[in-house]
Structure 1
Amino acid sequence: MKKIILASVLALSTGLAAAAFVGPNSAPLMTTAAEAAKAADDLPVVLEGYIVKQIQGDHYEFRDNTGSIKVEIDHDKWPTQDITPQMKVRLSGKVDRSRLTGFEDIDVKLVEIIK
Structure 2
Amino acid sequence: MKRSLLAALSITVFSSTAFAAGGYTGPSATVPIVTTAAANQASDDTRVVLEGTIVKRLKKDQFEFKDSTGTITVEIKKKLWPEVAISDVTKVRLTGEIDRDWFDRKVDVKQIELTN
What's the TM-score once normalised by structure 2's chain length?
A: 0.73
Q: Which amino acid aligns with 1:38?
A: Q
Alpha-carbon distance between aligned partners in 1 of 2:52 and 2:27, rounded to the nearest angstrom: 23
In the alignment, is residue 26 of structure 1 matched against residue 30 of structure 2? yes
Aligned-pair Cα RMSD in Å:
1.4
Question: How many residues are treated as equivalent by the alignment?
Answer: 91
Identity of aligned residues (%): 43
List alignment gaps of at least 5 residues for structure 2. 1-25
Q: Which has the higher strand share?
A: 1
Contact 1:27 1:43 in 2 (8 A): no
Alpha-carbon distance between aligned partners in 2 of 1:96 and 1:31, rounded to the nearest angstrom: 16
Contact 1:48 1:90 in 2 (8 A): yes
Name which of 96, 100, 113 aligns with 1:97.
100
Alpha-carbon distance between aligned partners in 2 of 1:86 and 1:105, rounded to the nearest angstrom: 21
Task: Please give the residue correspondences for 1:7-46 in structure 2 after superposition, counting only pairs within 5 Å.
Answer: 21-22=27-28, 25-28=29-32, 30-46=33-49
Name which of 28, 47, 50 aligns with 2:50.
47
List alignment gaps of at least 5 residues for structure 1. 1-19
What's the TM-score once normalised by structure 1's chain length?
A: 0.74
Q: Which has the larger radius of gyration?
A: 2
Paired residue secondary structure (2:65): strand
Q: How far off its partner does 1:39 sit?
A: 0.5
Alpha-carbon distance between aligned partners in 2 of 1:93 and 1:61, rounded to the nearest angstrom: 15
Q: Give 4+ residue runs of structure 1 displaced > 3 Å after superposition.
A: none
